Amino acid sequence: MKSQEPLHALSKIKFFVSIVLLSFFIGCNTKLTVEEEMKKETTICYRAVSKTDTGWLKIDTATYQKIGTLYFNYPGENRLYEGQFKGALIGDTLKGYYDFKVNKVDKWYRNPVALLKRDGKLIMGVGAFSMVWGSGYFDEKIPIDYDKGRFIFEQIGCEIR
């Protein structure tokens, strides 16, 4: 009988480890989306129109790290870019990254984004960027040009789509 006791104890350990691992994986899969993390009270919505193209920005301003959603619709090209924005407001400039999909295809892209806050509007800047380890970054040697930005976001009510 003594030889079965270690096997029984080993089975209990395996069962316990299995429960812990299962709990860990279930907990990891319940991550909130950016939209679920956003607080309604501190969320501001913007829309930009450039000829037939439209952009929508919905951003939560509650904390230092700004999170939100960003969509661009280009009907002439039959393209819809939709994704999330994460960044920080430094002075009058909102800088961060836009992780997005094109036409709902399950392939993610990432671009740097810079928005200058001027007269209650957010002007999307245009700048040179380089790729480092597969991610785009604004080239710090070349200034971002906000006068060439074609998307000027104006604040709207938050029923954006």
Q: Based on the fold, state whether residues 99 and 121 are members of the same structural domain.
A: yes
Whether residue 107 is contained in a domain is answered as yes
Q: How confident is the model at residue 2 (pLDDT cuts 50, 70, 90)?
A: low
Q: Based on the fold, state whether residues 142 and 106 are members of the same structural domain.
A: yes
> Rounded distance, CA 30 to CA 34, Å?
13
Q: How many domains does the chain have?
A: 2
Tell me if 46 sits within 8 A of 72, measured CB to CB.
no
Exposure of 73 in the CB half-sphere (CA atoms within 13 A): 10
Q: Which domain holds residue 16?
A: 1-31
pLDDT per residue as tens digits for the range 97-154: 999 999 999 999 999 999 999 999 999 999 998 888 877 888 888 999 999 989 999 9
pLDDT per residue as tens digits for the range 47-94: 999 999 999 999 999 888 999 999 999 998 999 999 999 999 999 999
Whether residue 7 is contained in a domain is answered as yes
pTM: 0.75
User: Which residues make Cβ contacts (< 8 Å) with residue 50, sequence separation at least 6?
Assistant: 150, 151
> Rounded distance, CA 97 to CA 64, Å?
15
pLDDT over 50 at 41, yes or no: yes
